[in-house]
Structure 1
Amino acid sequence: MTTKIVRASEHFHHEEGDWLSTYWHFSFDFYRDPQNMGFGPLRVFNDDVIKPGKGFGFHPHRDMEIITYVIDGELEHRDDKGNHGVIYAGEIQRMTAGTGIVHSEYNHSKEKPLRLLQMWVQANKRGLAPSWEQQKFSTDERKDRLLPVVVAEGTNNASSKRAVHMHQDASMYVSSLGAGKQVEHALAQDRKAYVFVIDGDATVNGQKMQKQDAARIEDENKVSIRAGKPAEIILVDLPGRYDVNK
C-alpha cells in the first residue's frame, strides 16, 4: 500500500512574478522534469495567487479538460466561443478545450487577490467540441463531507447531480472539515487518488500533512482524511490505467 506525501516546500516548483505567485505540482510551461509529468491523466495541478486586476491574457488550448476551483476571490473567464462568467470562492469551472479554444482568465477584483487551483486532465477522446460550464456550491454543502464537484461524463446519481462533467473517468471532491472531523473515500481496484490540503492540516491514511502538501495514493482501497485544525481539502479520484481514444 502506498501513500506518498509530497511537500510544497521540498518538491513543488515555485514561481514568484510581478502579479502571479504559483506552485506547479507537475512539469508545466518551461519547467520540465521527466520524472514528474503528472499522475495518471492528471497532467497539471497549479496553485495560483493572482494580484487584483491581473491575469492570463487570451491563449489557446486543445484536447484537455481544464478544471478551475476558486479558493478565495473572483475569477473572470472569457473565450472565443462567446462564453463569459465570473466564479467565486467554492465554485468550480470546467472547460473542454477539444479541437481548440482560446480563453483568458483574470482576477475580477480590482482590490483583493485571487487564489485558485487549475487542474488539467487529459480528455479520453481527441477532437471533442469545445465547451464550458461553471457551478456554484456553498460552504455548508462541503462541511464535514466530501462533496463531488466534478464527475465523469455520463455519471447520473443523486449525490452528484449538480457536479460539472468532464470527458475522463475521473472525479473531484472538496471538503471543509472542522477540527477533529474525518471523512473517508473508497477507492475501487486499479484507482488512485491525489489529495491536496488547501488550508489547515490533516492526517491522510495515517500520515500528517500541512497546508499545501499533497498525497499520491496508489494500491489502497480507501482514503481516510482527519483534520487537525480546520482544513480545506480537495481529492481527485483517477483511473490507474487510461486510454485516449482518437
Structure 2
Amino acid sequence: MITLRKANERGGADYGWLKSKHTFSFANYYDPKHMGFSALRVINDDVVAPGAGFDTHGHRDMEIISYVLSGTIEHKDSAGNIKTLPAGEFQLMSAGKGIFHSEYNASNEEELRFLQIWIEPNSFGDKPGYQQKDFGKEVGLTTILTPDGENGTLAIKQDAKLHQLILEPKQQYLFESNNAHVYVHQVSGSSLVNAIQIESGDGAKVLDETELVFENESNTPATLIIFELPQV
C-alpha cells in the first residue's frame, strides 16, 4: 500500500530568516495524522536567509541528518566539530546522551536550502557522534546510511537505511526491499512510484510492498531519497 503526502499539504513556518516545510508534526505545526512513520520523525525542507541560522541549541537521543540541496552550512558543536557542509553532502549527527550545536548559512549573499531529517535511535544515552560525506551524483541508487556503516556509508544507530536515487529522463529503476516500512521523498523533479505520480516535495508512505518501480517520464533528471525503516 502506498499513501501519498502532497507537498502542498505539509505544515510550514515563516520566520523571515527561515522558511520551512514540515512533512511531519514539528514545533508549532501539529497534525495527529502525521506524527512520523516508523522511526522517521522529521523531514523539514529548510530555506535559510543569507548570514542567518540556528543559534546554539541542544538535542539528545536522536539521529539527525542534514542533506544540503544548495548553499553551504557552517556547523559547530559541543563535541568540538567545526565543519562546513556544501551542497550535495550528507551529515549525520548522533545526539546520544546530549549535544549542543549551531547551524548557519555560510553565505552573506545566497540562500541555504537543506533537508533536516530526524530518526529515532535504537540505543540511548550513547556518546555523541559526527559523520559527514559527499556521495556524489551518480545515476541510479546510492546507499547513504546503514546500521553498520558498510561499504563507506554513514553508520546510523537504528535498523534503518537511507538511499539516494537519481533517475535520468525516461529511466526506470526497480527497488527491492524486505522492509515492511519504506518512505520515499521526492527531492527534485517528478517520477512515478508503482505508477503513482510524485512531484518535488511529495512523500509516500509504503507498507508491505517488496518491489517499487520508479520511472522518470519527464525530460529532466529526478532525485529521490528512500528510507528503509524498522517495524516499531
Q: Does 1:99 align with 2:89?
A: no
Partner of 1:151: 146
Matches within 5 A, 1:5-16: 5-9=4-8, 11-16=9-14
Q: Does 1:20 align with 2:18?
A: yes
Q: 1:237 aligns with which of 222, 228, 232?
A: 228
What are the ranges of 5 or more consecutive residues in structure 1 without an aligned counterpart? none
Q: Does 1:172 align with 2:170?
A: no
Partner of 1:29: 27
Q: 1:215 aligns with which of 194, 201, 204?
A: 204
Is 1:200–1:228's contact at 8 Å kept on the other side of the alignment?
no
Q: What is the one-letter code of the residue matched to 1:203?
A: L
Matched length: 230
Is 2:149–2:156's contact at 8 Å kept on the other side of the alignment?
no
CA distance in 1, matches of 2:226, 2:45: 14
Partner of 2:125: 127
Matches within 5 A, 1:60-75: 60-75=58-73
Q: Does 1:46 align with 2:39?
A: no
Partner of 1:182: 172
CA distance in 2, matches of 1:213, 1:121: 19
CA distance in 2, matches of 1:128, 1:49: 31
Partner of 1:199: 188
The alpha carbon displacement at 1:17 in A equals 2.2
**1:146 counterpart SS class:** strand
Q: What is the one-letter code of the residue matched to 1:207?
A: I
Q: What is the one-letter code of the residue matched to 2:228?
A: D
CA distance in 2, matches of 1:98, 1:234: 24
What are the ranges of 5 or more consecutive residues in structure 2 without an aligned counterpart? none
CA distance in 1, matches of 2:173, 2:109: 36
What percent identity do the matched residue pairs reach? Answer: 37
Q: CA RMSD in A?
A: 1.2
Q: What is the one-letter code of the residue matched to 1:171?
A: K
The alpha carbon displacement at 1:35 in A equals 2.3
CA distance in 1, matches of 2:87, 2:97: 30
**2:29 counterpart SS class:** coil
CA distance in 2, matches of 1:226, 1:53: 38
TM-score normalised by structure 2 residue count: 0.95
TM-score normalised by structure 1 residue count: 0.90
